[in-house]
Structure 1
C-alpha cells in the first residue's frame, strides 16, 4: 500500500477528529489501490491489442507479397492477372497481306499426304504427363506458350477421348488467338541439331560451312553489291542454298504460338537437321554413317507419347536438300544418299525439302532460301517497288554452263542461243573454283534485274535456287520442265503457271531447236506487264524473313505459308478421323498430279505431262 506524508493528507478531514481522519485516509488509499490495478490492466490490454494489430498487419503484408510474386523465386515484382474479357476478343495477330496480285494454290493438305500410318497408335488414353520434358530450343530453356485460355473439350463433345481432342477444341475456341495454330517442338538431344552447328567445320569436305551457319543460318551480312541491292538497307546475306534446316528452326523458336503441351498442338515440329547430317557423308563410302543418325531419330521419337497420338502423322521436319539425298534403296557404296525418307517413321511424317519427289507422298517442296531476308514489311515493300520500276535492258538472260556429257541437258543449246542474240545477257558459270560468278548473289541479282525473262532449265537436279532469285529480281521465269516448279511448290506458287511464268518444253529446244527469243517476242506487252506484277507479288511467298527484329507483320512469308499448310493438313486429317471420313487413298505414282487437279478431275485422267513422269 502506498504511504503518504502528512502534507499529502486531504484537507477536507475534520480537524481534531482522529478516527474520521483515519477512515478518510484508508478510503483514499483503497481508491488509489483500485486505480493502480486499473492502470496496470489498461497497460496489459494495450500491449495485447498492439500485438494483435501487429500480427494482422504482418498477415496482410504477407498476403500482398505473395500475390505480387515476391515469394516466387526469380519473379519478384511480377503480378499475374488472368483477365476476363467482356468485350469481343482482339483481332488476330496476323492480318491479310497487303499485296495479293494473284491467288496461290490453296494449301491443300491433300497434295502430299500419307494414306495410312505405319503405327496407328490411336491411344485415346494418352495424356501429357508432368514427367514428360517440355518443348525447348534444345538449349535447356523451356518455350513459353499462349494456351492459357484453351480449355479441355467438354464432356460428351464430338471429339470424345481422342488424344488430339484438346487441339481441335482449341481450334474452335474463338477467344484463343492461337487456337488451332499451336506448335509443339519435340525435344531432341543436341546431336540431332546443335552439335552439327558447333562442329560446322565437318559439314562439308571442301566448303567452309561455318560462315554459312552464322546469323541463324543466313550467313554473313552482305553490303554494297555494286547496285544489285544498294539502297535497301540491311537484309541481304550470303546465304547457302542448303541452310534451310537452321533457318527454319530459328524461325520456329520465334513462332508466336508455341506450346509446351503436346496435347494442345496443331502439329509437332521435329528439329532434326537432316540436310546438314547427310551432307557430311554423301561423298564418302561409309553407307552406315549416312543412316546412323536417321535410324537413331526414328527410334528416339517413335516411342514417345506424342508420336503414339497419331502414329507421327502430325509430325513434320525440314531437310534443306533435295528428296533424292534421302531415298537410297540399296546399301551398295555406289548408291547415293541416306534412306531417311524410306524409313517407316519418316513415311508418316511430313518432310519439307527444297525439291520433292513426283512419285512419293511424304515430302513437300518449299522454296530454296535466297540472299534476301527483310527485317520488316517496309523493307519488303521497298524492294518490291524497286524491282517493279527497273529499266530492263535485255529481253532475256541465262546464267549457266554447257554440259556436253549430259545428253538430257539443254543448257549448251541455251548458251549458244544466248550468245547469238543481242537481246540476251549471258553469265557463263564455272563448275568448280572460287571465281564462279553464279555463286555471287550480287552478280546473279544484277543479271536478273537487267532482264525481262530469265531462262531456268534443269541442271544437276530438277529444281534450283536461281528460280527464286529470278522471282526476287522481278524477272519472269522461263521453265523447260514442269518438275522445275509447277509440280513442286504447290503451297507457294499459283496453280495457273501461265500467270507468272513461261513454259517451253525442253524437247522443243533439244530436238526442234526452237528459238527461245522468238517464243518470248510473241508475248504481248500487256501480258508481260501482268506477268511481271504477278512475279513481284510472289516475292513475299518465296522469302524467309528475318524475325529477330520484327515487331509487327502484315505479310506471310515462305515460313508462314509452310507452317500454315502443315497445320491445315493435320487438322483436316484429324477432323476426318472424328467425323468418320477416311482419308482419300492416293496412288503415289500420281502424287505430282494431285495439286494440279481441278473440280471433278481424277489423277488417272490424261494429262499433257504424263510422258514426263512415267
Structure 2
C-alpha cells in the first residue's frame, strides 16, 4: 500500500465485550433466590438482615454518573481505567444500526425550533450566532484567525475546567496501549432528525432537477448495479452511487464503527451528524440567504450549547459536508452570493469539515475522496479487483471523458478534446447533458478507463472531479494539469510525491499547444509499470467499503483513513495544550502549502505553485 496515510492494521472490527453485569446486581439475584427458597424456615429478623446486607453491597458497588457532559452508562468503582474505557464501546451486530441499543437518541425538539428573530423582526445574521452562548465561541488572535473557545473560568487555561483539562481522560485513553480503541473512540453528538434523516426522507423534493433513482438507498450507496456489461464490473459490490451522498455514506459507516462510545470524556473526537450537503442542495437556486443558512445556524445553536463543546470549544468536533467547499463559503452580500455561509460561521471555524473539495486558503476543511460506484463487502473483493485491473491489456495510450467548457475561458477541456479526437492513440467519451449521457454510466466509464494507460484529468466545474477516483479504481494513471485537482487536496489519502502515481503537465503547456501524446510517449515503460502499480495500490484508500456484514478487515478504506487522521489531529492539539506548548503557527493563505513542506522548509519559501494559489 503506497498511501502515506496512517494504517491501523488488526485493530478494525475488534469489539469490546458486552457490559458485564453489575456485581451488586448478581448479589441481589442470589440473595433474593435464597430468601424465596427458605421463606418457610427463615424468620422475619433473618429476612431483614439479608435485605440490609444486600443494600450494603449495592451501595459499595454503585455506579458513578458524576462526569458532566457524559451520556455514558455507568462504570463500576474499583476497576482499572482500561476496563472502564473498554466498557464504553458499543458492540454492533452485523448489518445492524448501533443506535437501536444506545442511549444516543435524538433529543426532543419541541416544535422544530427555528432561528429566532431579533427585535427588528429579522432573522439572526451570520455573525449573531457567535452570541448564542456566552461560552460558545470567542475569537482568539492566532495566526490563521481561527475562533477558539473562550475559557470557562477566569484564570484557567484554554480547555480546562475543575482544575484539570476537560480532555484528560481522552488523553489517558489514547495513551493506553492495552485498549485497542484507546485513541480511536468516537462520540456521536445528539441532533434531532431534521438535521439528517429527515433530509434523506425528503431527498426527492430537495433536488427537483435529479432523476428518480433512489440514491439514498443502501446507506447512501444507491441502487445495486446488476449488469456487468461484458465483464467490465464484478458481480457484486457495485452501485449507482451519487457523488453528493457522502453525508449519508459517512454517517452510515459511523453507525457501524467499532469504537463508538457514549462517554464523551474518553472520545478522541466528536462526530456531528449534520447532513450539510443535503441541506444546502435544496437551497442553491432561488432561495434567499436566510433560508440557506437557517438549519446551519440552528445546528450551531444546539451543538455549542452542549457540554461536549466546552471541553475544547469545538476543536474536537467534525462533520461531513458532501459537496465542494465553495457551496458553504458564500461570497458577497445579499441574496446573489452562491451557497450557504456554514464554513464561515465563527463556531464552525473551530470544527473540522470533511468535504469533497477543500479551500486552499482555509484551515477548517479537509478534502476526502469522492464516492465511486465500488463498495466491496470483503477484503477479498478488493484484492480480486486489484488483481483484475493490474493484469488488463490496455489498447489506448490515453483517454478523456469530458466536454469542452466554452463558457469558461480558463478551461483547457476544449483543447484536450481536440487533441484526443485528433489522435489514433486516444479514446474520447464526450459528456453531454441528458439521459443519453454515457458519462453517467459507471460501467461505460470503467470500460473506457480500463482500456487506457493514462486518463486525462483537467479541472472540472471546480478544481476537482469525481473522474479522478474512477480512473484510479480502473488502474488508469491520472494525468493532472493543476495541483488543485488532487495534490493539495487529498493529502490524507494520496502519497506526498505525486510523481509516484501520476503525470503532471501544466495548463500553460496545453494552452501553448504542447502535445499531450508526445509527453506521454516519452515516459519509459518501466516507469509506466511503477506508476500503474502505485495506482492499483491506492485503490483501497479511494473507496468506501460496505461494512454491513463484515466482521474483520485488514484494509483501511477512505473512511478509515479519514477517521484516523481526524482523531490524530485532535490528540495532537490536546497534547500541545497539556504540555503548554505554543499553537501550531499556520497562516490560512498558505494552507495548501503545509502538506507539501519537507524538513527545514518554511511556508514562505518560494514554490513553483505560488502563482497558481496567489491569495487575493
**Scaled by the length of structure 1, what TM-score is found?**
0.76
- Structure showing greater radius of gyration is 1
Q: CA deviation at 1:117?
A: 3.5
Structure 1 Cα separation of the partners of residues 228 and 567 of structure 2: 38
Q: Which residue of 2 aligns with 1:605?
A: 605
- Per-residue deviation, residues 535-578 of structure 1 (Å, max 9, x unmatched): 00000001100010111100000000000000000000000000
Residue of structure 2 aligned with 1:118, choices 148, 170, 193:
148
- Aligned-residue Cα RMSD (Å) equals 3.0
Q: Which residue of 1 aligns with 2:170?
A: 167
**Conserved? CA contact 2:397–2:454, under 8 Å:** yes
- Per-residue deviation, residues 87-139 of structure 1 (Å, max 9, x unmatched): xxx9xx9xxxxxxxxxxxxxxxxxxx96654323456999xxxxxxxxxxxxx
Q: Which residue of 1 aligns with 2:266?
A: 264
Structure 1 Cα separation of the partners of residues 467 and 488 of structure 2: 17
Structure 2 Cα separation of the partners of residues 122 and 370 of structure 1: 44
Q: Which residue of 2 aligns with 1:525?
A: 525
Structure 2 Cα separation of the partners of residues 281 and 581 of structure 1: 43
Report the secondary structure of 2:323's partner residue. strand
Report the secondary structure of 1:316's partner residue. strand
Instruction: Please show how residues 158-237 of structure 1 align to structure 2 within 5 Å.
Output: 161-208=164-211, 211-227=214-230, 229-230=232-233, 232-237=234-239
Instruction: Please show how residues 445-484 of structure 1 align to structure 2 within 5 Å.
Output: 445-484=446-485
Structure 1 Cα separation of the partners of residues 351 and 529 of structure 2: 41
Q: Which residue of 2 aligns with 1:508?
A: 509
**Conserved? CA contact 1:117–1:313, under 8 Å:** no
Q: CA deviation at 1:224?
A: 2.0
Structure 1 Cα separation of the partners of residues 43 and 485 of structure 2: 80
Q: Which residue of 2 aligns with 1:486?
A: 487
**Conserved? CA contact 1:114–1:362, under 8 Å:** no
- Per-residue deviation, residues 428-449 of structure 1 (Å, max 9, x unmatched): 110x211111111111000000
Q: CA deviation at 1:186?
A: 0.3
Is residue 52 of structure 1 aligned with residue 52 of structure 2? no
**Conserved? CA contact 1:122–1:311, under 8 Å:** no
Structure 2 Cα separation of the partners of residues 349 and 457 of structure 1: 31
Q: Mark the CA change 1:590 to 1:164 in structure 2 (over 3 Å): closer, same or farther.
A: same
- Per-residue deviation, residues 483-526 of structure 1 (Å, max 9, x unmatched): 0000000000000000000000011101x101000000000000
Structure 2 Cα separation of the partners of residues 266 and 229 of structure 1: 41
Instruction: Please show how residues 307-326 of structure 1 align to structure 2 within 5 Å.
Output: 307-326=309-328
Q: Which residue of 1 aligns with 2:341?
A: 339
Q: Mark the CA change 1:124 to 1:383 in structure 2 (over 3 Å): closer, same or farther.
A: farther
Q: Which residue of 1 aligns with 2:417?
A: 415
Structure 2 Cα separation of the partners of residues 536 and 475 of structure 1: 8
Q: Which residue of 2 aligns with 1:586?
A: 586
Bigger shift: residues 324-333 or 314-323: 324-333
Structure 1 Cα separation of the partners of residues 209 and 226 of structure 2: 25
Structure 2 Cα separation of the partners of residues 261 and 160 of structure 1: 20
Q: CA deviation at 1:396?
A: 0.3
**Conserved? CA contact 1:399–1:428, under 8 Å:** yes
Q: CA deviation at 1:365?
A: 0.3
- Per-residue deviation, residues 298-357 of structure 1 (Å, max 9, x unmatched): 111112111111110000000000000000033322210100000001100000000000
Question: What is the aligned residue count?
Answer: 496
Report the secondary structure of 1:427's partner residue. strand
Unaligned runs of at least 5 residues, structure 1: 1-48, 68-79, 94-112, 127-158
**Conserved? CA contact 2:144–2:587, under 8 Å:** no
Bigger shift: residues 357-366 or 197-206: 197-206
Structure 2 Cα separation of the partners of residues 526 and 479 of structure 1: 20
